[in-house]
Amino acid sequence: MEKLSVRLPDGSEMEHDRGTTVEEVAYDIGSRLGKDAVAGKVDGREVDLNYELEEDSDLEIITIDSEEGLDIYRHTASHIMAHAVKRIYDDVKLAIGPTIEEGFYYDLDLQESISEDELEKIEKEMEKINSEDLPIKRKELPRKEALKLMDEKNETYKIELIEELEDENISLYQQGDFIDLCQGPHLPSTGRLEAFKLLSVAGAYWRGDENNKMLQRIYGTAFPDQKQLEEYLKQRKEAQKRDHNKLGRKMDLFMTDQEVGAGLPLLTPKGAKVVQILQRFVEDEEEKRGYERTMTPLMARRDLYETSGHWEHYKDDMFVIGDEEKGEEVLALRPMTCPFQFKIYNSKIHSYRDLPVRFAETSTLFRNEASGEMHGLIRVRQFTISEGHLIVTPEQLEDEFRGVLKLINYMMETLGIKKDIWYRFSRWNPDKKEKYIDAPAAWRDSQEKMKNILDRLDLDYTVADGEAAFYGPKLDIQFKNVHGKEDTIITVQMDFALPERFDMTYVDEDNTEKRPYVIHRTSVGCYERTLAMLIEKYAGAFPTWLAPRQVMVIPISEAQYDYARKTAGILKSEGIRVDIDDSDEKLGYKIRQAQIEQIPYMLIVGDNEVQAETVSVRDRRDGDIGEMPLEDFKSMIKEEIDKKVSEIN
């Protein structure tokens, strides 16, 4: 038998017979590695375990404890789920079934509506397929044969996908009588799947386009063993309790209405109060740091957005008003405030002594998000943001960038979420020129400048190519919601393009005109998204300084109503947000209601408290903390509010 050489990642080499499979090599290295193997990487290309080695190769074994391995494992689970659905529903058409961060999903075109109750039926069929231990085999067909096969199976979505591929040979995977379009790799057989669970059903437009047909999407997850699955399900249950989309409505912080429209949440008095507190805090802090406030229009003529480049690169995400063909003036709701603030800057001649100019605005913005993408307060069509732009000289760029980060980190620390965020350096993708302003030299220069600044700041960050703004690189502050989905909550962008487009200048020390740099930034990002983040972080139990109601005075009986009103009045005069529960309900019920509303403190007043001019204080978490003079309680809560204590003890 002819021999070949297999080079491993540690530099060592092994000799094997030609035709040896990746799995056989893994077991030859060690039984534990063979057991944990899910696929291989031959000369950098991912392959199945049953892939036969035919020449000298570099080989890496992909194991289940790696991100790549778990992704392959879950991809197989996705195929097994699709197979089960095909067995149960004769008329189903398969769309796509990728893996996602915590599991997988499959989009299905089916006349019958799949309910949550029917997921158990699909799971049982998956268990049956699992017990059959069907071999999973890769096969390649010429394009015409693959199209013919999918046509025979009436898989119209697969036909559309194949037609977009440039490959002459199409990769498919088969298990029993089920075959699917797929690049792979996969587990060797259906019996290798140890633990899985179907989680939910949702609607999803084909390719995320609301103009396409609405499909049914089944979400699921899979883990290497039952213990890991059970731990995940336990965490997921806790996450659902904190889900802002449910908890925020339950706590009467916001609502939505079908007549109003998707992505247009209505903040109730409680939710609006939290946002108002945040806005005042941010605006006051920005003023302390040298920002000047502007107020600019919610819309502008098309011409402004053509100058800025938004019309060319961002038009699909904007709400446009007016029909040019009818001779109407074309306007658009603003997706950001920068062009307006640049106009304010250009209204005067600036010397280098005037810079840096720091503009800030509490801006209501509009983004034409697809209806299928809407989610609570996180993904919306109208939102308010703590927006700002700094116009600086080249010499000021690094110090001002540093100052922006100090402001952001101060905000995150005050809100109690500093430890939950991380940084991402988002760069352009030169292969997608249509997405960005076409100025390669400027991109390279600005990205190098930003990288040098980040490195000198000793900032720990990841890099994401293709995530830059269309006019420059940016630093994104990332956060995960309770379901593990990653979102950008704050951005700091370095802009090399718009100062040129708006002909922004300053007169330098040598009396010549120079171009400034621009830093785009937010302080806490979008207020709606920040509210969602805080609901989930604190499970609705906001820090006292942010709570829409900070104190509930609870008289035991009608005899204490006057004292309760007097107590509430004293606290209100100090700016403390207080209410009185003077309902006819029993004391225990009143306390439970205040705890459900997550009101930080309850002041119980009965005859003893009236006579002693005291209050009995209950903490929403710690319960009864004792009787004290009202002045002592007032001092205690004012200190807590002033210090903006962000963690609940």
Tell me if residue 396 falls in helix, strand or coil: helix
Q: Give the pLDDT score at 164.
A: 92
Tell me: the pLDDT tens digits for 606-632?
A: 999 999 999 999 999 889 999 999 999
The residue written with tokens 């992704």 in the block is: 71
> Please, which pLDDT band fits residue 646 given cuts at 50, 70 and 90?
low
Residues in the chain: 649
pTM of the predicted model as reported, rounded to 2 decimal places = 0.78
Alpha-carbon distance of 479 to 485, in angstroms, equals 8
The residue written with tokens 């800030």 in the block is: 360
Tell me: the pLDDT tens digits for 354-369?
A: 999 999 999 999 999 8
Tell me if residue 365 falls in helix, strand or coil: strand
Cα separations (Å) of 549 from 210, 274, 358, 530? 40, 10, 34, 19
Query: Both tokens of residue 605?
Result: 């007043």
Domains in the chain, CATH or no CATH each: 3-63 (3.10.20.30), 69-242 (3.30.980.10), 266-538 (3.30.930.10), 551-643 (3.40.50.800)
CB 140 within 8 A of CB 171: yes
| Rounded average pLDDT over 28-37 | 93
252: left (phi over 0), alpha (psi -120 to 50) or beta: left
419 CB contacts (<8 Å, ≥6 apart)? none
| Rounded average pLDDT over 59-83 | 96
CB 91 within 8 A of CB 107: no
pLDDT at 299 over 90: yes
Tell me: the pLDDT tens digits for 477-533?
A: 998 888 777 888 999 998 888 899 999 999 999 999 999 999 999 999 899 999 999
CB 516 within 8 A of CB 349: no
Alpha-carbon distance of 643 to 480, in angstroms, equals 27
CB 30 within 8 A of CB 63: no
Rounded to the nearest integer, the mean pLDDT of the chain is 92
Alpha-carbon distance of 101 to 521, in angstroms, equals 28
Q: Give the pLDDT score at 649.
A: 37
Phi, psi of 158 (to 5 degrees): -65, -35
pLDDT at 379 over 90: no
Say which residue, 432 or 621, is predicted with more confidence. Answer: 621
Tell me if residue 283 falls in helix, strand or coil: helix
Q: Give the pLDDT score at 535.
A: 94
Tell me if residue 399 falls in helix, strand or coil: helix
pLDDT at 293 over 80: yes
The residue written with tokens 């067995």 in the block is: 87
Tell me: the pLDDT tens digits for 590-604?
A: 999 999 899 999 999
CB 589 within 8 A of CB 615: no
> Please, which pLDDT band fits residue 648 given cuts at 50, 70 and 90?
very low
Is residue 288 classed exposed, middle or buried when 0-12, 13-18 and 19+ CB atoms within 10 A define those classes? Answer: exposed
CB environment 202-227: b (16+ within 10 A), e (fewer) = eebbbeeeeeeeebbbbbbbbbbeee
The residue written with tokens 């209405």 in the block is: 257
- CA proximity to 138, closest of 97, 104, 170, 93: 170
pLDDT at 135 over 60: yes
Q: Give the pLDDT score at 374.
A: 72
Query: Both tokens of residue 202?
Result: 């949702």
Kindly calculate the radius of gyration of the chain based on its CA atoms and give it in whole angstroms. Answer: 30
